[in-house]
Homo-oligomer: A and B are copies of this chain.
Amino acid sequence: MRGVQIGLIGFGTVGSGVVKVLEENGSLIEKRLGQPLILKRIADLDLDTDRGVSVDHVQLTRNALEVIEDPEISIVIELIGGYEPARSFILNCFRQKKHVVTANKALLAIHGDEIFREARRHGVDINFEASVGGGIPIVRSLREGLVANRITSLFGILNGTSNYILTKMTDGGGEFGQVLQEAQEKGFAEADPSMDIDGIDPAHKLAILLSLACGGRVRFDRIYTEGLSKISPLDIQYSLEFGYKVKLLAIAKIEASQVEARVHPTLVPIEHPLSAVNGVDNAIFVTGDVVGPTMFYGQGAGQMPTASAVVSDVVELARNVLFHSAGRVSTLSHQDRYIKAIGIKDIERVVTRWYMRFSVVDKPGVLSRISGILGKNRISIAAVIQKGRQAREAVPVVMMTHEARGRDVIRALKAIDQLPVVLDETVRIRVEDKLS
């Protein structure tokens, strides 16, 4: 039979998008691939909800095994998300010699090691373009487009929800809690938003990108993660005065001897292309030792952008099926025997410049006490903004420091926050001046 037969497990939002793409652009894809993609079976527990797409020629089932064990199906798309049963389904696909496409970043960040190893052991491919940056072709760009490069750094805006919230706060939308609530009402944030705003979701994606860039195993729990909840519009405004925007950045700096990997609010120079990435958009700024700085930009989530990535992966694996070229590109962009564990530098040893906002009683000697403690901890001040004088009330004192170690900053701020003249926990945000 002509064509490449595929199965889908998970008929939710993205799954419906995939069906829609195959329906609307199927003939275009056939012109490109040379053969039709035939969606033979879909498995989902819910077979009743109308997804608004035609499944007349598809066999629907509540039993995922009917997809996994169908001998005619050579590629299975896993879109149920979460750890289990997604993990078991994928491992079962491998045993059935089926190639897999997944968008499941959490699963790959935590269990990627096992999953990639098992795929190799069974001689099948697993593709996961949709796991990072929605429809942006960043995974294949790292694996193929930049194959001649040692990747030296990656800076990503990888979470649409948190970028939307920061953009709204920058545009005068109010305090974090208020903007979050509006985002939830508009459907831009989940009812439980913690994966997004606490930085877990972008950290999952960073783990995947870092694995690809270095060809290695990344221990997810070694990636430092800090969310948005302590950022106030005041910090965004002061940052602008210093010439920076506040972004939730996923950062990897890769040197031969050590790797930094961290997700946290970051001051980004206002003229840097990442500063212009607003709303739910995503972007990945990648520097290679040959190509120099590059950036990949687009919608980081949503039904159709994600479906675009899923189908591009299916087409790639279908080409491998048709040309008997499975394993043509290594999953982690390096051959098995070169896959190594990547050691990640402790966040307390990471050196950056810092933005600090102190809430202090405005009386003589306060600034000198603070700067004294900073100095004792090897933190020197590059610039200070102090406005408004309201005796005996809290006033903000805002500083930009020179480069300082995380450990020193923690120690200094612990001492400063215990001073009686300091009225609230000091806000501190890392600064990245050189993003390549």
Contact = CB atoms under 8 A, between A and B. Distances in A.
Interface string A171-207: 0000000000000000000000000000000000000
Given A21-B290, A294-B135, A334-B32, A312 B145 contact: yes
A347 to B, nearest CB: 28
A433 B144 CA distance: 34
A330 B330 CA distance: 21
Contact of A291 (B304, B333, B334): B304
Interface stretch (A23-31, A239-247, A361-369, A417-425): A23-31
A312 B288 CA distance: 13
Interface string A19-42: 001001100110111100000000
Given A307-B148, A308-B148, A299 B290 contact: no
Interface string A110-129: 00000000000000000001
Contact of A315 (B147, B215, B304, B324): B147
Interface in A263-293: 271, 273, 276-277, 288-293
A129 B308 CA distance: 22
A171 to B, nearest CB: 12
A21 B304 CA distance: 38
A311 interface: yes
Interface string A290-305: 1111111111001011
Interface in A137-152: 137, 140-141, 144-150
A94 to B, nearest CB: 20
A25 B148 contact: yes
- How many chain copies? 2
Contacts of A323: 323-325, 328
A290 B20 CA distance: 10
A373 to B, nearest CB: 40
B297 A297 contact: yes
A292 B304 contact: yes
A272 B305 CA distance: 20
Given A29-B148, A145-B312, A290 B276 contact: no
Contact of A299 (B28, B273, B291): B291
A431 B137 CA distance: 29
Contacts of A302: 292
Nearest to A314: B148
A147 B32 CA distance: 8
A290 B308 contact: yes
A147 B312 contact: yes
A148 B298 CA distance: 15
A319 B316 CA distance: 14
Contact of A298 (B28, B295, B333): B295
A136 interface: yes
A338 interface: yes
A329 interface: yes
Given A288-B308, A295-B297, A298-B295, A140 B144 contact: yes
Contact of A136 (B32, B140, B294): B294
Name the residue in A145, A298, A308, A325 with the highest tally of chain B Cβ atoms < 10 Å from its Cβ: A145
A335 interface: yes
Given A135-B291, A297-B295, A146 B312 contact: yes
A140 B292 CA distance: 18
Contacts of A293: 298-299
A147 B37 CA distance: 13
Interface of A: 21, 24-25, 28-29, 31-34, 129, 134-137, 140-141, 144-150, 215, 271, 273, 276-277, 288-299, 302, 304-305, 307-309, 311-312, 315-316, 319, 323-325, 328-330, 333-335, 338
11 contacts: A24-B289, A31-B335, A135-B290, A140-B144, A148-B315, A273-B276, A291-B309, A295-B297, A297-B297, A323-B325, A324-B325
Given A25-B148, A291-B299, A293-B298, 8 more contacts: A21-B148, A21-B290, A28-B150, A135-B292, A273-B273, A290-B307, A291-B298, A291-B304
